[in-house]
Chains A and B, each alone.
Chain A
Amino acid sequence: MNKKPNKMGEMPELLTVSPSPHIKTSDSTRSVMIDVLIALLPAYIWGVFMFGIRALVVGVISVAACVIFEALVQKLLKRPVTVSDCSAAVTGLLLAMNVTAAVPLWMPVVGAFFAIVVVKQLFGGIGKNIVNPALAARVFLFSWASEMTTYVAPGNRISSLAVTLGDADVVAGATPLASLGGGTLPEATLGDMFIGNIGGCIGEVSSLLLLLGGVYLLVRRVITWHIPVAYLGTVAVLTYLFPQVTNSLSFMLYELMAGGLIIAAVFMATDYATSPLTPIGRIIYGVGCGVITVLIRYFGGYAEGASFAVLIMNLLVWYLDILGMPKRFGAVKKKKQKKADA
């Protein structure tokens, strides 16, 4: 023990006198956001592997744009700059994973501006935004519908410079989701769908790796099971009961793995700021997302329903939390109370 003891009375001039608790968890907003990034990475890296270096470039631009816009707008609004909490980086990565690798490189910048400046900071910053920034930006980017829906064929790795795509590079025919919308099962096998050997957005193709990320978040207690299970469960039940092709089981599995459903259920719908806090609220929210997704997929103009479903449910979060308010410890049910009073 080589500790050099202070002489008694050598207390600091001023001690901190603050209210309890005096110890805190080492978890922070930053550590939570880094966990989300870690969970997203496998699926994103798979996207880069499938669609080429350009997917990486889109991701870097998107993340950098989100971080820079956050710092700029916070400077401008004279708020403390909080990019070190990594929440802007999460938004950036999610945004990149929700566009195709073939988008023009200015699009992630525009998306980042919409996500960070309009949806997040103008509503008060982290925790205060009403809708999910990455999803809102994605829907905003659908203003350029053809760019957003030019999906790269799986394994056609495009270089960072290729801006125009030849026919060979683009998904032959339609994405699995589009064929499902047309009432036929896709050409891709269920195995391809599960691993992610299909066309689509950069980060949404590999169901396996997205689910793996979800498991990581569950283990790290970043999210709870309520929303993903309620969401995916609802979609599973509805597509199984009301299939649009004869084989309802494979139709259900294709529907679950096609498009952005899994990334939406695991990463988008569970976004803290825009999802309910209570377990019951979370289940209702997940079911709502599932129902709207299926309705849009069956009857809507767009093939993809998950983004819109989550955005719509985002707006109901406040009411869902009131609905899901837990029963207070020791509270007596009103009827019982009346009886006791009588």
Chain B
Amino acid sequence: MAYTFRGGIHVDEHKYTSDCPVETLPEPPVVKISMNQNIGATCIPAVSKGDRVLVGQLIGNVPEGALGCPVHSSVSGTVIAIEDQRVSSGAVESVIVIQNDEKNEVADTVVPYTGSIRDLTPEDITERVRLAGIAGMGGAAFPTYAKINSARGKAEYLIVNCAECEPFITADHRLLLEHPEDVVRGVKILMRAVGAPQAYIAVEDNKLNAVKRLRELCGKDGIISVKVMKTKYPQGDERQLIFALTGRELPAGKLPADAGCVIFNAHTCASVYTAIATGMPSVRRIITLSGDCVATPKNLSVPVGTPASCLISYCGGLTKDPEKIISGGPMMGQAQWDTAMPVKKSTSSILILSADYSKKPSTPAVCIRCGRCIKNCPMHLMPAYIAQFVQLDDMKNAEKYGAMSCVECGSCSYNCPGKVEIVQYIRVAKNYIRTEAARMKQAEADAKKADANK
């Protein structure tokens, strides 16, 4: 029996690239590396225009004391600009543009660690992970060192998220097939860093060939075990993953560590291993370029900062008129303005989809009260009701009905026959409730200040 959870949806998988070996993208002429690769502070550029940089060289420093990861150059070449640019999240960020000299010269700060992992203390490992600039590569981009620190001593289980439940994406699948040993070694390093006695590698049952390879590597001592999950969206959501594996329900607003778990993405584990073994910081990643408009969808190993247009032309260009370009998966990814958008450490896929996928209705979107969203909600909310409260501008009731517990997986919107953008209404409510709470807090603080000044 595969592990699973209640709710969720079955989405057409569209995993066209499961059998495509990872190809290395030819050196892109220019890379654009954002100074904001992860959740946390924006880095301060450590180089200036005209500087020569090498692969793995530090180019962005985290402000003193702030949460965040340093940023490194992914190619060797010359900095031709430091400018503000729109990136995949839609925000305008400071971006370092590097002209690639294609010499691939590696910085002398990249030093392999040749000793035994046992000689490294958990703190040493965490520091190396931090310096390597590793952040969650599944999409959320939470700084990995901070996650290790939050879970150290608390986590009974280290869970490796290889669910890859979003349609189209096969980057982690290929990684597990081609470099499973890197992932497993990374898991061992992270177990030591976190102090977790046991690890689960969670793989959906549409990747049984990867399960086989991983089981061969993990051995039979049960310290690291491979768990087969049912293929269902959103199986890769951390709450659903923890529930499916341990039976523990993690309420909204709590961290996995509160349930005795810590979750890392498969690619993050591999990057941790690479960073410690070779000294190379997080500057490359595997990415899936797919969608019905792409001539030949592929899995590619690319330097961070490669513009999407380079990937598209390598895959043979477009065969259909695209309606949307998406960074990330089709369920939770972000639609893009153009193809200039550079790959980030957390970009697992770029999808180019035609209008066939959006299934625009011929009649106006309206809730027909079928109840599917309630049946599918992995957080067991009543999305239709929350959406209706938002339409009526009744944010109090939206909050009462659990808007803040929503994980924004989009199962409700996907399956809505009335084509209501349910999850977007809930996002509106969440945003409003958050802003309002911040405003109240501010008002309270101001009042206190005024009292003190009396």
Contact = CB atoms under 8 A, between A and B. Distances in A.
Contact of B339 (A11, A321, A329): A11
Contact of B239 (A23, A84, A330): A330
Which of under 10, 10 to 19, 20 to 34, or 35 or more describes the interface residues of B? 35 or more
B250 A330 contact: yes
A15 interface: yes
Contacts of B309: 8-9
A21 B413 CA distance: 7
B380 A329 contact: yes
Contacts of B312: 8
Contacts of B243: 329
Contacts of B369: 127, 272-273, 275, 277
B319 A329 contact: no
Contacts of B330: 20-23
A331 interface: yes
B364 to A, nearest CB: 5
B363 A21 contact: no
Interface string B413-426: 11111110101100
A17 interface: yes
A25 B417 contact: yes
Nearest to B6: A329
A202 to B, nearest CB: 26
Interface in A16-64: 16-32
A331 to B, nearest CB: 6
Contacts of B382: 277-278, 321, 325-326
Nearest to A125: B366
Contacts of B427: 19
Given A15-B324, A328-B402, A330-B250, A26 B339 contact: no
Nearest to B252: A330
| B interface majority secondary structure | loop
A19 B421 contact: yes
B417 A32 contact: yes
Contact of A330 (B251, B362, B366, B385): B251
Contact of B322 (A11, A328, A330): A11
Given A7-B317, A332-B251, A22 B322 contact: no
A247 interface: no
B316 interface: yes
A71 B189 CA distance: 67
Contacts of B405: 328-330
A78 interface: no
Contacts of B419: 24, 28-29
Given A82-B364, A272-B369, A26 B359 contact: yes
Contacts, number: 192
Given A5-B317, A21-B410, A21-B414, A272 B371 contact: yes
Nearest to A27: B417
Contacts of A12: 321-322
B385 A16 contact: no
A85 interface: yes
Interface string B303-320: 000000100110011110
Contacts of B402: 328
Given A84-B363, A330-B239, A321 B385 contact: yes
Contacts of B358: 16, 22-24
B333 A22 contact: yes
Contacts of A85: 363
Contacts of B364: 80, 82
Given A11-B322, A272-B370, A326-B382, A23 B353 contact: yes
Contacts of A6: 317-319
A3 B312 CA distance: 16
B326 A22 contact: yes
A208 interface: no
Nearest to B405: A328
Contacts of B408: 20
B359 A24 contact: yes
A285 to B, nearest CB: 12
A7 B316 CA distance: 9
A342 B423 CA distance: 36
7 contacts: A17-B324, A23-B414, A87-B368, A277-B384, A278-B382, A328-B405, A330-B239
Given A20-B330, A22-B357, A23-B358, 7 more contacts: A5-B319, A12-B322, A22-B353, A29-B417, A87-B368, A224-B371, A273-B368
A-B pairs with lowest CB-CB distance, top 3 = A330-B251, A21-B410, A277-B371
